[in-house]
């Protein structure tokens, strides 16, 4: 199965199906809760800059951050890990 990341659009394409990157998943979930980046940063006890970097796929969250994101944004941690693993394979 071919997996590609289109840098310009920051999408993961797997088997012809477009998937959300971890940054997109975080941003979409945050926005669904009508939460600002600042509020998310406060709730996961990280800096605003880190949240911005996560949403832009400029960094991959560590285990504690994944757990906190999962809890605060009500995303199954397995979904976040899957996104991280896909992105790591591509880089």
pLDDT at position 47 is 98
pLDDT tier at 81, thresholds 50, 70, 90: confident
pLDDT tier at 80, thresholds 50, 70, 90: confident
Q: Strand locations in the chain, DSSP E?
A: 3-6, 11-14, 17-19
If we measure between CA atoms, which residue out of 77, 80, 25, 70 comes closest to residue 43?
A: 70
For the chain, what is the radius of gyration of the CA atoms? 13
pLDDT at position 2 is 38
Using the predicted structure, report yes or no on whether residue 66 has a pLDDT greater than 70: yes
Higher pLDDT: 10 or 19? It is 19
16 Cβ partners below 8 Å, 6+ apart?
A: none
Q: Is the dihedral of CA 82, 74, 38, 43 positive or negative?
A: negative
Higher pLDDT: 18 or 40? It is 40
pLDDT tier at 51, thresholds 50, 70, 90: very high
Higher pLDDT: 68 or 2? It is 68
């Amino acid at each position: 199965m071919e997996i590609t990341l289109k840098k310009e659009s920051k999408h993961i394409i797997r088997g012809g199906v477009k998937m959300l990157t971890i940054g997109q998943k975080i941003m979409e979930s945050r926005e669904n809760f009508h939460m600002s980046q600042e509020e998310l940063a406060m709730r996961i006890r990280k800096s605003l800059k880190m949240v911005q970097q996560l949403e832009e796929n400029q960094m991959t969250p560590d285990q504690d951050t994944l757990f906190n994101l999962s809890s605060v944004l009500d995303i199954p941690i397995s979904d976040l890990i899957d996104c991280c693993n896909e992105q790591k394979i591509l880089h």
